[in-house]
Amino acid sequence: MQADYSDFEVVVSDNSSSDEQKCLNLEAVSPFVGAPNFRIVSPPRLLSPPEHFEFALDFASGDYISYATDKMVMLPNALSRAAAAISASGADIVNWANAPYYVGDSQSPAGPGTLYEEIEFLDGKPTPYDPIEALRFKAASSVRRDLQRTRDYVVGKIIFGCYSRELVNRIRAKSGTLFGGATHDYSAMIQGLSLARGCVMLNCFGILFISLPVDQSLGSLTTTYAQQALRYFRSFSNADAILSSLPVPGLYASVHNMVAHDYKKFLPIYGRMDLFDEGNWLAAIHHELTSQSKVWRDSDEMDEQMERLFDYISQAGQRLPFYSRRVRATLVARYEIWRNSATGQRLERLVGKPPSVIYRNREAASLDEAMRHLVASRT
């Protein structure tokens, strides 16, 4: 609401599970209620994330549409930069980078914390990119999601940029849905890159991303905790159908299996299934299941999920370097010892930062101060 570009609207869609939480949320946005470009809506029942994104889409009336999750704070100059790029190129998709802000107190996300700025995005210039080449890189999964550089990760995503209304209409005319897969962001991205007639990467920060502890972040929860991933699937109205249609059926403990579902669902619609590399996706799923950071309910759950992967790979004629269950149990036990050590605790805070990326970090007294740093930053 503090954007330096005036022609925009904000639609807040509240998918809270309780009236108490909805009251708290309404209190938080109360200063803006009544503004001509602000609207708050709520679905008639609790929806899964993709279903909720599709619901909110029907309330947007602009020529370009962007999504911000509840951990994203859009910078005041993001819309003006996007509008300038759209005016110059007519691009269907415009993307920007995100700067993580690690808050000191997760209960006070607007308080002091540490801002991490990638040097690459401090004073970048807009550049066009080929949507099919971007889709080829992502669909092949030659680089796992957690190892991708920020630029490769955000291109094509509507939650790290905006789509033209015309592109959204063409997607819905083709498949009937923008977000109708196992995930919201990948469902839209696969279809957007398949049909986009022009794409631009701003190469600058558009949002500040509040980084919360693992147990308070939906993405981290579903990646780390097997039971939370299952809970995510159970939020769908057609949960059993989605679980059975996963590339490795019933294997809920892998986010890569979740994302691969959307590639296998939407690529054939656009004649792009040749871009999908099943072997790479299976390797990524295997790596995720054998990761030392994966948290299982118990050993039976781990064995059951691993067995599903083994069976599928055997049937598909694939070969992967599997750990035995005995070695896997040893790895888990050793990791628990390591994680509780002082060295382990220090290293855990660095997880997720690719070693090839150059960061500049700033201690900020508040979220507002961090935002001012980002707007004024130069290389």
β-bridge partners, 164: 64
Reduce the DSSP state of residue 362 to 3 states and report it. strand
- For residue 378, the model assigns a pLDDT of 64
Query: Residue 220 — pLDDT band, cuts 50, 70, 90?
Result: confident
Residue type, 320: L
- For residue 339, the model assigns a pLDDT of 47
Taking a C-beta distance cutoff of 8 angstroms, is the pair 133, 240 a contact?
A: no
Nearest CA-CA partner of 74 in 63, 66, 84: 66
Each residue's pLDDT tens digit, 297-319: 999 999 999 999 989 998 887 76
Average pLDDT value for residue range 278-297: 91
pTM of the model: 0.89
Average pLDDT value for residue range 282-287: 92
The two three-digit tokens of residue 216, written as one number = 């308070």
Taking a C-beta distance cutoff of 8 angstroms, is the pair 207, 68 a contact?
A: yes
Sequence length of the chain is 379
DSSP code, position 65: E
Each residue's pLDDT tens digit, 255-264: 999 999 999 9
Nearest CA-CA partner of 210 in 116, 120, 145: 116
Average pLDDT value for residue range 337-348: 48
Residue 351 has pLDDT above 80, yes or no: no
Query: Residue 108 — pLDDT band, cuts 50, 70, 90?
Result: confident
Average pLDDT value for residue range 330-343: 49
